[in-house]
């Protein structure tokens, strides 16, 4: 009993930044109108340092890496496609809003608060992955996803601290899901 109380006390003393992380909760693909598409739900937990920098005007760049591989039993899996989606998250002090800009398309949206922005950023819906002509019907395919904070996109004076601080190493584990076969 004493050990449980001691462990619980230590848990309360841990800084909340240790729990800041990016987590891919779910991902699935679907095939519609000749295109394989991806839906995913991602939780973006920013550390206190990242939040403080964001609210001080530092732009955070978040990257989502997607790899589609053909499974092969006799060799390593064959990469069919590799995509990177890049997003900028910034705070506009004048309007007291958070802005997410998709760097691949240039489209941006504004949000009244950080939780709303992070929730929207974590909802991937109908993201086009592959045309049906790139997929062979008799093979199985896996989709791998990982998301991370791009430290290289931070301002140069902030990078050395970011390289050595755990609070800036925000990344998810790789997540995999099968590519839905063509019906």
Alpha-carbon gap, residue 172 to 26, rounded angstroms: 12
The angle formed by the CA atoms of residues 110, 83 and 141, to the nearest 5 degrees, is: 125
pLDDT of residue 53: 96
**φ, ψ (nearest 5 deg) of residue 50:** -65, -40
Mean residue pLDDT across the chain: 89
Q: Is the pLDDT of residue 16 over 90?
A: no
Q: Which residues contact 179 (CB under 8 A, 6 or more apart)?
A: 29, 36, 68, 129, 130, 135, 140, 141, 142, 143
Domain limits, the chain? 40-170
Q: Tell me if residue 97 falls in helix, strand or coil.
A: strand
Q: Of 12-21, 29-38, 161-170, give the lowest mean pLDDT range.
A: 12-21
134-154: pLDDT as tens digits = 998 889 999 999 999 999 999
86-123: pLDDT as tens digits = 999 999 999 999 999 999 999 999 999 999 999 999 99
């Amino acid at each position: 009993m004493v050990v449980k109380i001691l462990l619980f006390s230590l848990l309360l003393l841990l800084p909340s930044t240790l729990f800041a992380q990016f987590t891919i909760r779910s991902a699935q693909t679907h095939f519609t109108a000749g295109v394989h598409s991806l839906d995913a739900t991602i939780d973006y937990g920013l550390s206190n340092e990242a939040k403080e920098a964001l609210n001080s005007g530092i732009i955070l760049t978040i990257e989502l890496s997607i790899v589609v591989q053909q499974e092969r039993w006799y060799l390593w899996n064959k990469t069919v496609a590799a995509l990177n989606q890049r997003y900028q998250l910034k705070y506009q002090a004048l309007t007291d809003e958070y802005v997410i800009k998709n760097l691949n398309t240039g489209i941006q949206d504004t949000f009244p608060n950080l939780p709303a922005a992070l929730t929207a950023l974590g909802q991937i819906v109908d993201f086009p992955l592959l045309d049906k002509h790139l997929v062979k019907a008799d093979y199985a395919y896996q989709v791998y996803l990982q998301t991370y904070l791009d430290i290289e996109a931070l301002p140069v004076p902030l990078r050395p601290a970011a390289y050595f601080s755990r609070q800036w190493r925000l990344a998810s584990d790789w997540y995999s899901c099968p590519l839905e076969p063509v019906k």
